[in-house]
Chain A
Amino acid sequence: DILMTQSPSSLSASVGDRVTITCRASQYISTYLNWYQQKAGKAPKILISGISSLQSGVPSRFSGSESGTDFTLTIASVEPEDVATYYCQQSYSSPFTFGPGTTVDLK
């Protein structure tokens, strides 16, 4: 199975801060890396697919990128509504594993 890791596990940010979340896969996953946002009591929602493709309706302050073996989710300027847990997920091969999540809250 492909193991997905994320760092940090949690972070506190001020409104307007730039936030970066990193995800790493234990094996090659090509472009099959997705990011989901989950707010309290809700189902996860797709933010970014294929490393960097922003889903329709997702604010442009969210972006995804790749650097070597690391994948990154960036929030350019945090807003109060971004308080949530963020998960990466690989869709390269079954089983389609998720990372452990990064919880973002406000200072």
Chain B
Amino acid sequence: QITLKESGPTLVKPTQTLTLTCTVSGFSLSNSGVGVGWIRQPPGEAPEWLALIYWDDDKRFSTSLKSRLTITKDTSKNQVVLTMTHMDPVDTATYFCVHRQLGAKVRGIITQNWFDPWGQGIQVTVSA
């Protein structure tokens, strides 16, 4: 059974750097095809995808937040870490860690991938 759990501060001050850790179980971060990402959701708004790191250390980032984000993984600790610099009150949100699931190959091609499961989320408030 795959599980993910977020940890980190729930309150940060404006201009500070946020560091969130996702601890995973039920799979290895080094397994071929594995991807673990971060998604945030401000109160009353839609989810916003932030970043994804793959088993081979390839990384993808939100276009608008790319300059502020770093994502790394520690395979030995089963952890994925997201850092976001220059935090602002508009960054107040619930931050979710997600596992990227791949669908079966159809004629040699993977035609589906989705986020499942999601961690329980961690509420982060940015306030002085």
| A interface residue numbers (CB < 8 A to B) | 1, 30-32, 34, 36, 43-46, 49-50, 53, 55, 87, 89, 91, 94-101
Given contacts A43-B121, A49-B103, A53-B103, A98 and B113 within 8 Å (CB-CB): no
| Interface-side segment among B10-18, B46-54, B84-92 | B46-54
Interfacial chain A residues near B113, Cβ < 8 Å: 32, 49, 91
Which listed residue (A34, A87, A94, A99) contacts B52, Cβ 8 A?
Answer: A94
| A27 vs B77: C-alpha distance when bound (angstroms) | 39
Main secondary structure of the interface of A (DSSP, over half): loop
B114 touches A101 (CB 8 A): no
A91 touches B114 (CB 8 A): yes
| A91 vs B115: C-alpha distance when bound (angstroms) | 9
A100 touches B46 (CB 8 A): yes
> Which residue on chain B has the smallest CB distance to residue A52?
B112
B120 touches A43 (CB 8 A): yes
* 16 pairs from A and B in contact (CB 8 Å cutoff): A1-B63, A30-B111, A36-B47, A43-B120, A46-B116, A49-B101, A50-B114, A89-B47, A91-B115, A94-B60, A95-B49, A95-B62, A96-B52, A96-B60, A99-B46, A101-B46
